[in-house]
Structure 1
Amino acid sequence: MLPITDFLSCTDPLDEFDSLSYHQTQHAKTYVTGLAAASSKTVTGIAREVLPAGSDRALNKFITEYNWDEDKLNHERLEELQNHGETRWSKDGYIVIDDSVLQRTGKELPGAGSFYDHSEGKPVWGQNLVYAFYTDHKTSYPLAFRQYEKADDDEEDVEATKYELAQEIITELEEEIGVPAATYLFDSWFAHGSELIKHVESHRKDWIGPLRSNRQVTFDGEEKRVDALAESIDTEEREIDDEVYNIWTKTLPVSKLGEVRLVITEKEVDEDEENPVKYLATNKIDAPSAHIIRSYSKRWRIETFFEDSKEDLGLGGCEVRDSDGASRHWHLQMLTYSLLRLGSPSSVSERLVSKASSLRAQLEHGLKEAIYNMFSWVREQPERDLDGLMEEIDHLFLHSGGSEGCI
């Protein structure tokens, strides 16, 4: 475990944020540096490894007690991203709505419960977050989130459903933040909510999402399941971005959605690969099927965000038992992800590829910077003899818990 002797340079924009006082900014820089470069993403672990933190008590108070507004911080984060051409959003971008289950073991964690995890194919114990995520041809980053909590049967106030939380997020994006992206992308779970679809359309935005196989459609005056329709039609082979698809498309009525454009598509894959038929629906009635398929393929980028954030940025590592503290942890995790997006990989082409997909290049850059800062600290000790300097370095490693592992 490498002791981190200074804040990472990606935290510099925080100096201009109005949502944090000077001392709160130092704590935020500590937290972001820890989420990006420390081996342990808990408050205790970050305070142990990021030496400017001082103590975990002060960092814990920053997360759970200090007076600062995480929503204002989130808006400033998004404003900062608009100051850079490579992360500036546009009407040609997409907003992905999806949720993720953070598997946990603690029973007292805020909102913890049994949730169905699609990646596991079964219910798991954890916390469930609903996210909005921006993506286009050059960048990707989270916009906002809400925590979904199951209501107990004996509670008088029923907690908001995931559909309602998604609508709440959309209202924030459209009416408060003003994200210009013209199209929303959903998975089949969220695309099933007709009120959610109507909410998107009320803001004059388009949407694309897959139908469940049992969704009822009307074709040639007969109502049938969409998977039954797929068995009765003839598809046309098309090549889209070097991939071969078998496609059928038509504008027709779909239950609860009204008149929509339906694209039944199956990509040709190797024999050992599973590739179920997709039934894509959209209110973009006049859009070519190739555009609909290309657009919907952008949805996978939120899965990359979830994977990167869980593995490398502490998305599922928060041990805070206070609900406000947990929310702040997740907001700071989104901040870390975004500030790393503004890092400087070695080339323009690398930057464009990495910013739209994985954070691996930025994380490697952060690790190199932490090592460089360590060496710089050593060089700045000319008055120390070698024995004294080595003793001080040993102290740093002991302070950061060096016996527990490495970054």
Structure 2
Amino acid sequence: MLPITDFLSCTDPLDEFDSLSYHQTHHAKTYVTGLAAARSKTVTGIAREVLPAGSDRALNKFLTEYDWDEDQLNHERLEELQKHGETRWSQDGYIVIDDSVFQRTGKELPGAGEFYDHTEGEPVWGQDLVYSFYTDDKTSYPLVFRQYEKADDEDQDDADETKYDLSREMVTELEEEVGVPADTYLFDSWFAHDSELIKHVESYGKDWIGPLRSNRKVTYANQEMRVDALEERIDKEEREIDEETYKIWTKTLPVSKLGEVRLVIAEKVTDDEEENPIKYLATNKIDAPSAHIIRSYSYRWRIETFFEDSKQDLGLGDCEMRDSDGASRHWHLQMLTYSLLRLGPESSVSERLVSKASSLRAQLEHGLKEAIYNMFSWVRDQPDRDLDGLMEEIDHLFLHSDGSL
């Protein structure tokens, strides 16, 4: 990998953050630049490839010893996003709650344990983070997160918080501290199973949409039955929604643990030889059109894209910190990196257009181009160096970054 001679311009907003001192801002810029542009996303890798880092020891102390508040940093990140029209949240947006498991090998990593990974379809060893995520027609970014840790078998009487507990904590933070105005929460079937989470969301006057598991009990025609058994009894109406064909049935009826809710049974018609996928969507939006409920729930997929992009390109699962505070700071800085890339630099029209791209890949490519430009600028700014001396210095930079183009 080429040596990174300067901070990426997307880190400029950090100069205005009150949560960081002058020297801490330098380290934060180093880390964000490394997560965005370095080949290795570990402390050692970032310090090796981002030349302003100085040393991995200083960067490690920034994560584990320096006095700064990652929660305050996160709130300043969200405040910065509200200064720009393309990332400003609104009532029409959605808050998604979901978790993701990062497969790891280290036994001493904070919170590491055996968790079920739905992408693998089996339990894996790793770390489990529960996230809240904002999304609307124009933007998407993470809000806050909690790490889920399982209690040891012998400590079950003093078990740690469940993922449902952590989710309710996040809702409280978003509503009472952060002040996200989005009217609607989206869950997958696991989180929608917790009636207390649903009640907690409703206590703030917010709406929710989530799928039911196929064995969830509903009451129809004075008879209690599984929702998948109900699906076999009803006649669905075919409709076009956003150029997709669905067979839909909807009714307001009682659902176990949830009370009276709107149920939408939606079978998506595909060309595949396998059976058409069916969703049993429940919501407290009693009067909303079926198309609105189906279209709204499709926004939940944005958090899956965040997990995928962040794991592949931004070091979300690469944290090697054995200190829980250091690991938390790594994940907060990763959210900061994702958001600053989404926001994009504002120094030119072309750069603003890059910030509006739907895929994070465009922003990462822009960061790589900027790193190359900074390298060329560094060469240009050495007018008094003879060619042999300049080439020797360039060789030293590449050796320092321990990589190749």
TM-score by length of 1: 0.97
Q: Name the CA shift for 1:276/1:105 in 2 (closer, same or farther; >3 Å).
A: same
Aligned twin of 2:77:
77
Give the SS at the match of 1:34. Answer: helix
Q: CA deviation at 1:276?
A: 2.0
User: Matched residues in 2 for 1:261 and 1:350: separation?
Assistant: 40
User: Matched residues in 2 for 1:180 and 1:41: separation?
Assistant: 34
Aligned twin of 1:130:
130
What are the residue-to-residue correspondences of 1:270-289 with 2, within 5 Å?
Answer: 270-272=271-273, 275-289=276-290
Q: Name the CA shift for 1:265/1:71 in 2 (closer, same or farther; >3 Å).
A: same
Give the SS at the match of 1:66. Answer: coil
Moved more, 146-155 or 28-37: 146-155
User: Matched residues in 2 for 1:222 and 1:60: separation?
Assistant: 61
Aligned twin of 2:263:
262
Asked whether the equivalents of residues 262 and 282 of structure 1 are also in contact (C-alpha less than 8 Å), the reply is yes
Moved more, 339-348 or 109-118: 339-348
User: Matched residues in 2 for 1:92 and 1:273: separation?
Assistant: 35
Q: Name the CA shift for 1:196/1:2 in 2 (closer, same or farther; >3 Å).
A: same
Aligned twin of 2:106:
106
- Partner letter of residue 304 of structure 2? E
Give the SS at the match of 1:4. Answer: coil
Aligned twin of 2:209:
208
User: Matched residues in 2 for 1:204 and 1:311: separation?
Assistant: 37
Give the SS at the match of 1:299. Answer: helix
User: Matched residues in 2 for 1:273 and 1:85: separation?
Assistant: 43
- Partner letter of residue 191 of structure 1? A
Q: CA deviation at 1:39?
A: 0.1
Asked whether the equivalents of residues 263 and 281 of structure 1 are also in contact (C-alpha less than 8 Å), the reply is yes
Deviation by residue 1:177-197 (Cα, 9 ceiling, x = unmatched) = 100000000000000000000
Q: Name the CA shift for 1:27/1:348 in 2 (closer, same or farther; >3 Å).
A: closer
What are the residue-to-residue correspondences of 1:206-355 with 2, within 5 Å?
Answer: 206-272=207-273, 275-344=276-345, 346=350, 351-354=355-358
Compute the RMSD of aligned alpha carbons.
1.2
Q: CA deviation at 1:271?
A: 1.8
Aligned twin of 1:179:
180
Identity %: 83
- Partner letter of residue 295 of structure 2? R
Q: Name the CA shift for 1:143/1:275 in 2 (closer, same or farther; >3 Å).
A: farther
- Partner letter of residue 175 of structure 1? E
Identify unmatched segments of 5+ residues in structure 1: none
Q: CA deviation at 1:346?
A: 3.5
Q: CA deviation at 1:76?
A: 0.2
Q: Does 1:383 align with 2:372?
A: no
User: Matched residues in 1 for 2:12 and 2:352: separation?
Assistant: 21
- Partner letter of residue 89 of structure 2? W
User: Matched residues in 2 for 1:130 and 1:371: separation?
Assistant: 36
Q: CA deviation at 1:154?
A: 1.9
Q: CA deviation at 1:134?
A: 0.1
Asked whether the equivalents of residues 31 and 46 of structure 1 are also in contact (C-alpha less than 8 Å), the reply is yes
Q: Name the CA shift for 1:13/1:367 in 2 (closer, same or farther; >3 Å).
A: same
Identify unmatched segments of 5+ residues in structure 2: none
User: Matched residues in 2 for 1:388 and 1:192: separation?
Assistant: 67
Deviation by residue 1:244-301 (Cα, 9 ceiling, x = unmatched) = 0000000000000000000000111112466421000000000000000000000000
- Partner letter of residue 125 of structure 2? W
Aligned twin of 1:56:
56
User: Matched residues in 2 for 1:348 and 1:80: separation?
Assistant: 16
User: Matched residues in 1 for 2:357 and 2:283: separation?
Assistant: 28
Deviation by residue 1:198-225 (Cα, 9 ceiling, x = unmatched) = 0000010000000000000000000000
Asked whether the equivalents of residues 138 and 353 of structure 1 are also in contact (C-alpha less than 8 Å), the reply is no
Q: CA deviation at 1:351?
A: 4.5
Asked whether the equivalents of residues 5 and 375 of structure 2 are also in contact (C-alpha less than 8 Å), the reply is yes
Give the SS at the match of 1:262. Answer: strand
Q: Name the CA shift for 1:274/1:107 in 2 (closer, same or farther; >3 Å).
A: farther
User: Matched residues in 2 for 1:159 and 1:86: separation?
Assistant: 39
Give the SS at the match of 2:154. Answer: coil
Aligned length: 401
Aligned twin of 2:5:
5
User: Matched residues in 1 for 2:400 and 2:302: separation?
Assistant: 38
Aligned twin of 1:66:
66
Asked whether the equivalents of residues 129 and 148 of structure 2 are also in contact (C-alpha less than 8 Å), the reply is yes
User: Matched residues in 1 for 2:15 and 2:274: separation?
Assistant: 49
Give the SS at the match of 1:31. Answer: helix
Aligned twin of 1:115:
115
User: Matched residues in 2 for 1:140 and 1:325: separation?
Assistant: 26
Give the SS at the match of 1:230. Answer: helix
Q: Name the CA shift for 1:18/1:189 in 2 (closer, same or farther; >3 Å).
A: same
Q: CA deviation at 1:353?
A: 4.2
User: Matched residues in 1 for 2:354 and 2:193: separation?
Assistant: 37
Give the SS at the match of 1:199. Answer: helix
Q: Name the CA shift for 1:176/1:251 in 2 (closer, same or farther; >3 Å).
A: same
Asked whether the equivalents of residues 344 and 352 of structure 2 are also in contact (C-alpha less than 8 Å), the reply is no
User: Matched residues in 2 for 1:29 and 1:348: separation?
Assistant: 20
Give the SS at the match of 1:61. Answer: helix
Asked whether the equivalents of residues 342 and 356 of structure 2 are also in contact (C-alpha less than 8 Å), the reply is no
Asked whether the equivalents of residues 3 and 51 of structure 1 are also in contact (C-alpha less than 8 Å), the reply is yes
Deviation by residue 1:30-81 (Cα, 9 ceiling, x = unmatched) = 0000000000000000000000000000000000010000000000000000
Aligned twin of 2:368:
367
